[in-house]
Amino acid sequence: MFETLMDLRVQLQTAMIFILFLATLRWGAVPEKLVAALLSATIVFHVGYHSLVGGEIVLAGVDLGHVVIDLALLVGLGAVALHANRVYPLWLTAAQLISVFSYAYRYLYGEEDLGRGPYDVMATLPFYLCVLFAWVGFVRHVLRQRHHGDYPAWSRAAARRHSGDPVRN
């Protein structure tokens, strides 16, 4: 059973992301839609990168395509986290930051000091956490909306900053 799940983990993860994307189109607010779109785009760009390159582009043991994709996801999630009236995008951004730092660690210290297993965990586990946190955030959004009605998708500080009014702390 466990071996079967491990063999299917990529397909299960991809299915969970695309189901989340479709669910957010129906029941999510803009932050949920953006998070689901960013995670979906990450999958699409990952598959596209390996199809286009026919493998990987490696420099000093680090796959540059994965670095670029993960950095783009970090920037996108960070932008949502800074403006959304939600906490869970911060969780996703923090998890993605661990993934990005894994590349720096691997580049600086190589595989000899860290070993392949811990590097793989640092590079891949955060994305699984991102999927989990996105689902938790989406479900919490839906439940909050059902119990309390509509609420602002974006923080007041972000709204004031764009309206020209000064932000007061």
What is the phi/psi pair of residue 155, to 5°?
-65, 155
pLDDT one-digit tens code per residue, 81-137: 999 999 999 999 999 999 998 888 777 776 666 666 777 777 788 999 999 999 999
**139 token code pair:** 């479900």
- Mean pLDDT over the full length of the chain: 86
pLDDT one-digit tens code per residue, 140-162: 999 999 999 888 999 887 655 55
Looking at residue 146, what is its pLDDT?
93
Nearest to 95 by CA among 122, 113, 118, 114: 122
User: pLDDT over 70 for what percent of the chain?
Assistant: 86
pLDDT of 6 strictly over 70: no
Looking at residue 167, what is its pLDDT?
44
pTM for this prediction: 0.86
